[in-house]
Structure formats: structure tokens, C-alpha cells
Amino acid sequence: MVSVVKRLFVGRPLRTDRMGEVLLPKRLALPVFCSDPISSVAYATEQILLTLALGAVFLSLAVPVAAAVVLVLVVVVASYRQTCHAYPSGGGAFAVSRDNLGEQAALVAASALLVDYVMTVAVSVTAGVVAVTSAFRELVPHTATITALLIVLLALVNLRGARQSGRVFAVPTYGFVAVVLLMFVVAAVRAVTTGLPPSDAPILSEPPTVHTGGILTLALALRAFASGCTALTGVEAISNGVPAFEKPKARNAATTLAVMGALAAVLFTGITVLALEIHARAVPSGSPSVLSQIGASVFGHATVLYYLLQATTAGILILAANTAFNGFPTLASILAGERYLPRQLHNRGDRLAFSNGILLLAVTAAVLVLAFNANIDRLIQLYIIGVFTSFTLSQAGMVRHWKRELAGTTDPARRTGLRRAQAINAVGALLTAVVLAVVFATKVPHGAWLAVVAMVVLFFAMRSISVYYRRFEAEVSAPGGLPTLPPRVTAVVLVSRLHQPALHALALARATRPDRLDAVSVEVDEAETRTLCRDWERRGIDVPLLVLSSPYRELVRPVVDHVRRLRQSDPAGVVTVFVPVYVVTRWWQNLLHNQSALRLRARLMATPGVVVVSVPYHLGRADQGWLSEVDIAAPRHPEPTRRTTPTP
């Protein structure tokens, strides 16, 4: 049943040798990796206006703030194009920092990116739902639930593979770009002819108009700049996912990154200009959004184009989380391969996607959205710190990378190119470091400290995991020679009744030819124990039956204590415990059987020198393998039954 449901939602598994079929051409890589930075323009302007909403005098700062954001975007895109060429194997900031700045810096970059990817999913999907509730206000009370369900839906789509998700996400991504560019054209025509009507969004409370300057103005401008830098989120995703591109991988990734940067800069600039032109009002709840107000002013309320703008905005914002659904699992796989995260995150699933990473990201983001009740203003305060932390470390690492390259070449033409690349990354490192300082100073007092705490916890968790794996490898590494054989083997067969499963376990135990073989039963019901002993003697089985007394009706503890006594009496030997296990044909049949064997195996496997062997008996099937032919022959002199009492 589980397999059928999985195939329905995820699809048929793909062979490993079909990996090349899931690589992305540039036209699909753009919506897969760039939907986040492109969609960020839908709320980046809004965050700037919301910060500058103290009065009209401060709104005049929106233009220089937006220009500074575009400048940072251009520099970061140019810097990451260098990373794509220098590190075509992917890994982005983590790989660059590890090779050039050391393990500690690499783990800081990785923890920052992982936290940022979670925030990308939470913020993007929430912003997309806000775009829907701006048009349909009756859905506002259900924002958190709708957001969580959409995150689950995105996870299911991504579990089907990157190429399939790229086809799904291409329509809203390209549709959003087309509708917004059309809105710019219509706005330009109306501005020249009839003029654009101002925003008719309701004023929730009249902000005080403050005429001042100095430190207050600078602080507001810096905070607005930090909020506007949300337009840069997701830029690093392409450098993490270079291996997912078709060949030539590095060139295709760098080209896609350049196209993304150009689109994001044009859209962000146009939306900011129109927002100031129509005097759009940003509200903390995000509904109606600034982009919705611009669309209503340009296209008119209740028009097809207005609803098309809202639909494509909601679509790209929701699907912008796909950038994280590709970046997070890929980075987690790389970290798991380097033994910084659990190994399960390194493996690909049925559809050649990193399924465990996708599921982990979806669950974490959904919990975050529900915890913050899908409040976009509160969620976005946790954003960006991780982005610019990884930006700064990546660009600083690239500067050192080019320095090493320069030291290894004497060709004048190549040295000129390397110096140019180093200069680009040096400017990027300096600029993103300044932005990081501004973001940290302005965001932490408003809730971003939670993101910082998450990064610190993740950093130390990855270090601890790495230490564990190193100790694990050192402990399990094979020695030079073969291990010595145990001097003695004691076999213990657990028996509750004399039935087919017990006889099969006895047959398998005898086949191993142990030095000592005992059958053990726990006396919970006196009548059942008498029946077992009578059947044992009547059948004449040549294996001693040991009955353990259990006055408190426990099954697990008496057996564990008995096995431990055997180990203490012969520390150099091995105790092998054979446990009969029922294998049912229907899942619900497990509910009708005692599951004490599971608990018993877990306890016994924690004891050194004890080997646990599960002997399956397949219910409802005539074929039991070679055990179908087993017959326990009656001996001439059967062994007596022995009883023991538990040690107090």
C-alpha cells in the first residue's frame, strides 16, 4: 500500500545510469535556481517602504536605497560568476571557504546557508499566499494553514526530480516576468497620457511626519537598505548547483546567473519607481501588498490583467521556494559526504533527487511558518543575515583562491585575467561585509537573533557530527590481519510454545554447531509453561529447556539478565540468541501479535559479545525455504527441563 501511494505521488524510480537525463538546460535552470531572487523583487520594495513609513520626508530616501541595493546585486552576481567557473563541482560558499579559509569558516558558511534556505521557503511561500489574500481578503485567517499545505505540495513536486519540477515552475516564473514587464509598458504609456492614479489602499494609521536629519535619517536609511537586500536572496543557489546543469556546466551556470541578475535588477528598479509614483503604502501585515497596489493603479481593479498579475506573483513567490528545495538538499548532500551531517542526507532517492534533504527542509519550514502564524513582517526579520554571511565568506575565499592561482603562473595574459577576477571578488567581499554589518546591526534587535542562534547551534552540531564520524571510522577500520575466532559459542533459542517457528529456530541453531545449545522460556503463565514442558518431553527434543521465573510477568528483563550471566561466566566466548519472528502478509496483522521480540532484540544488541539472530516464519505461506524440510529427531535420552529463579 505504501509503495503504491509513493509511486502515485513521486513516480517510478529512475536508474542511476539515467542521471544525465535529469540535468537542466538553461531555460529550465532559470526557474529552478533563480525563482527566489527574481521573486524577491515582489516584496523587497515593500520592505524598504515599510521601514521608511515614518513620513514623506523619509520616503525620498527610497531611490538612493534602491540604487544601493541594485549596486550590491550587480557586484554579487559578478562575483558568483567567478565562483561558478572556479568551482564547477558545486558547493558554493562552503566549498570555497573550506578550500581557502579553513574548516571553521566553511562550517559558518554552511550553517548560514542552511538557515537561509529554510527562511527562503518560509518567507517565499508566505509572501505568495499574501499575494492571494490581497485579492481575496476572506482567506486572510487561513494564511498559515494554506502556507504549510503549499510547502508540502512543493516537497512532493520536488521529490519527482529537478527536471520535472523545472517544467512545472517555468510557467509562473516566465509568466511573472512577462506580466511585470507589460505593467511597466502600460504604466509608461498611462504616465505620458492620462497619468497614473494614486494608490487607494486604506491608511491604517496616519504616521507622524518628522522633519529631521542626522543619525535618525542615517539609521532609517541603513535599516531600509538592509530590508531591501532581501532582493539578493537565492543568488548563491546557482553556485551550489553547478553540477545540475547540462554541459558545459560552468559556462551555462554563469550565463544563467547573469540573466537572473539582469532580470532582478530591472524588475526591482521598475517596481520601486512605480511604487513611489503612485504613493503606494506598505502595511506590516503585507495585505494589500505594494505590488498589488501598483497593479490596481496601472491595470485597474477587477481587470483580467490585475488578477493575472496577482496570480503570477503568487505563483512565482510560492514556487520561489524551489530555489531552496534544490539548494538545501544539494548542500546537505555535500556536507553529509564530508561527514558534517547524517549520511542519510547524502543519498539520492528513487527519482535521483536528494529526497531526505527535501523532506527535512519541508518539515522545518512548515513548523516555522506555523510557529510565526505566517506573519511576513516577523518572518522576514530572520532573513538575510545568513545570506550575507555566506556571501562575505565566499568572496573572501575567492580572493585567496585567485592569489594562489597567481602564485602558480607566470603567463602575463593569464595573470591579467586572474587579477581582474581577484579585484571583482575583493570588491564583492568588501561590499557584502559592509552590508552584513548593517544587516546585523539593524535586524538583530528586531528578531534576527533567532537566526543567529540557529546558525550557532547548527555550527556546533555539524562539528559534533564530524567528530563522531571520525571516531567511528577509527574504531571500525579493519586491522591488518583477520580477527581471531571465538573460543566458544553458546547458542540460546527463545521459546514460548512448541510450534513451527520455535522448531525452525532450533533447527537453525543446531546447524551452526555451537559448543553449547539451550532453549530458554520465560514463565509468565504457569499453565502454559507446564504445557510447554510436557510437549517438550513428549516430543523428546535433545536440547535442554531452561525455564526462567518471572514473578512480575516480564518477558524481556529475565532473558537479558540470563544472557548477561552467560557472558560473565565466559567473557572470551560469544552468546548467540536465536529469536523466532513472525512475518505477516498484511500490515494490520502486526497489531494482533506481541511485539516483545523487537524490544528484546534492541536490549540484547546493546550487550557486547552477544549476537542476535532473527529467524523469520512467514505466516500464510507454505514455502519456508530450507526450513520447510526440517524435522527435529527424537533422541534416545532426552535432556531434563531446568528451572531458574531471577537474581534479586
Q: Using CB atoms within 10 A of its CB, is residue 450 exposed (0-12), middle (13-18) or buried (19+)?
A: middle
CA 259 to chain CA mean position, Å: 27
Phi and psi, residue 270, nearest 5°: -65, -45
| Neighbour-count burial of 26, counting CB atoms closer than 10 A to its CB (0-12 exposed, 13-18 middle, 19+ buried) | middle
Task: Tell me the pairing of strands 641-644 and 574-583.
Answer: unpaired
pLDDT of 93-103, one tens digit each? 888 888 889 89
Least Cα distance to 432 among 396, 472, 463, 401 occurs for: 396
pLDDT score recorded for residue 206: 47
Least Cα distance to 94 among 80, 109, 79 occurs for 109
pLDDT of residue 19: 46
| DSSP 8-state assignment for residue 339 | T
Those residues with Cβ within 8 angstroms of residue 483's Cβ, 6 or more apart along the chain or in another chain? none
Tell me, what's the pLDDT at 638?
A: 45
Predicted TM-score (pTM) of the model is: 0.71
pLDDT tens, 371-399? 888 777 677 667 778 888 888 898 899 89
**Could you say which residues of the chain have pLDDT below 50?**
1-2, 15-20, 55-57, 204-212, 632-638, 647-648
Q: What are phi and psi of 125, to 5 degrees?
A: -65, -40
Report CA-CA distances (Å) from 284 to 106, 371, 576.
36, 18, 66
Q: What integer pLDDT is reported at residue 364 of this predicted model?
A: 92
Strand blocks (E) in 541-625: 545-549, 574-583, 610-618
Domains of the chain: 2-470 (1.20.1740.10), 489-644 (3.40.50)
